[in-house]
Amino acid sequence: MPPAIVDWEKRWVDEDTPWDLSGVTPALRDAVERQAGSLGHALVPGCGAAYDVAFLAGRCATVTAIDVAPGAVEVARQKTESTGADIVLGNFFEHDFGRRFDFIFDYTFFCAIQPCERPRWGKRMAELLGDGGRLLTLVFPIDESKAFDPNAEGPPFPVSVAAYEDVLLRHGLIKVSESRSEHSVKPRRDKELVVWWEKPKQKL
> Does the pLDDT value for residue 1 go beyond 50?
no
Give me the pLDDT at residue 187, please: 76
CA distance 31 to 24: 12
| Residue 19 pLDDT class (50, 70, 90 cuts) | low
Give me the pLDDT at residue 4, please: 46
Give me the pLDDT at residue 43, please: 98
State the chain's mean pLDDT as an integer: 90
Segments making up each domain of the chain, as ranges? 8-15+22-198
Backbone angles phi, psi at 17, to 5 degrees: -130, 65
Give me the pLDDT at residue 2, please: 43
Tell me the per-residue pLDDT of 137-153, one tens digit each, with 9 for 90 and over: 999 999 999 999 998 99
8-15+22-198 has CATH 1.10.3720.10 classification = no
Give me the pLDDT at residue 152, please: 92
| Residue 79 CB coordination number (10 Å) | 17
| Mean pLDDT of the region 23-43 | 90
| Mean pLDDT of the region 157-177 | 97
Higher pLDDT, 192 or 201: 192
| Mean pLDDT of the region 173-185 | 91
| Residue 7 pLDDT class (50, 70, 90 cuts) | confident
Residue 66: strand pairing partners: 45, 88
> Does the pLDDT value for residue 95 go beyond 90?
yes
Can you give 20-41 as a three-state secondary structure string? CCCCCCHHHHHHHHCCCCCCCE
- Weakest mean pLDDT among 40-44, 83-87, 184-188: 184-188
Residue whose C-alpha is closest to residue 74's, from 12, 144, 167, 5: 12
CA distance 199 to 127: 10
Give me the pLDDT at residue 18, please: 67
Give me the pLDDT at residue 36, please: 75
Give me the pLDDT at residue 83, please: 94
Give me the pLDDT at residue 89, please: 94
Residue whose C-alpha is closest to residue 107's, from 39, 57, 63, 53: 53
Give me the pLDDT at residue 3, please: 44
For residue 175, give the amino acid letter: K
> Does the pLDDT value for residue 182 go beyond 90?
no
Residue 138: strand pairing partners: 194
Would the CA dihedral through 59, 122, 179, 28 be positive or negative? Answer: positive
> Does the pLDDT value for residue 5 go beyond 60?
no
